[in-house]
Amino acid sequence: MFFHVKELQYNAKPDRPDPVYAKKLQEILGGQFGEITVMMQYLFQGFNCRAEAKYRDMLLDVGTEEMAHVEMIATMIAQLLDGAPVDQVEQAAQNPAVGAVLGGMNPQHVIVSGLGATPTDSVGYPWNSRYTIASGNLLADFRANLNAESQGRLQVVRLYEETTDPGVRDMLSFLIARDTMHQNQWMAAIEELEQIQSAVVPASFPQNLEYQEVSYQFLDFSKGEESKQGRWAAGASMDGRGQFEYVADPIARGQVPKLNPAPAFVHATPGMEPVVANP
């Protein structure tokens, strides 16, 4: 059960309207790594959590905070659309030259949402749940969360650089700081789980059932040997169970594929047998 507090978590007050920037801000609302994504991802990971109670509680804490971030950004977008040149939008329908001047404004902010935010990204693609990950394996999920926060913070920082509006920058500065915390939070949770279990997911699968000869081999499939210089090519493996090995010329281990002819009802191209010369 959730309760709504009327006050925002932090201020979302631009100094001036900017319909074009409102379109850009949609990316961190409804984009792949936007606030709707992390909100839904953390909440479903929490709803589905069967592990220790502290993990479920933490997931629901941060998922609920992300609801607040969705509200902040939606509020900011709506205010950036205040005073949008609706008359110019109407003229643009009749005059392509005016439309060209309007440039990057999203017409759906007028036509569809009535000067409000939409659950879409910056090019109008609808948010969808395929962006979210909730596998039931907390180590796998927390690594996905770290990636989401890393990409999300990167995008917010880029948007910070694209505006000089003090009010917008103030809100983005708060979101950037919270992304700093969330990255650190997921790294701490990952470290904790890696100390309890193997660093490789899933830890429960018996390693003797995998093809162990290649478990720690780095296979160089490109020209040159620059990749040989990396930490991944020599020394102890990250899970502490093996030694990295660099393989410059990987061998093919499989068979030459040969498929059986398709049955007649499929109407595929008939197989061609090699022509054998008369003895």
Q: What are phi and psi of 137, to 5 degrees?
A: -105, 110
pTM, to two decimals:
0.88
Same domain, 84 and 155: yes
Same domain, 99 and 61: yes
Query: Is 159 among the domain residues?
Result: yes
How much is the mean pLDDT over the chain? 92
Range of the domain at 150: 19-196
Beta bridge pairs of residue 245: 217
* Residue ranges at the known binding site for Mn(2+): 35, 66, 69, 149, 182
Same domain, 160 and 239: no
Q: Name the pairing type of β-strands 235-236 and 217-219.
A: unpaired
Span 105-120, pLDDT tens digits:
898 998 899 999 999 9
CA distance linking residue 131 with residue 99, whole number of Å: 33
What is the rounded radius of gyration, in angstroms, for the C-alpha atoms of the chain? 26
CATH code assigned at 56: 1.20.1260.10
Same domain, 111 and 227: no
Confidence class of residue 278 from pLDDT cuts 50, 70 and 90?
Answer: low
CA distance linking residue 277 with residue 208, whole number of Å: 50
* Residue ranges at the known binding site for Ca(2+): 57, 61, 222, 224
pLDDT at 155 over 70: yes
* Residue ranges at the known binding site: 35, 57, 61, 66, 69, 149, 182, 222, 224
- Residue 94 is inside which H or E element, if any? none
- Whether the Cβ atoms of residue 176 and residue 156 lie closer than 8 Å to each other: yes
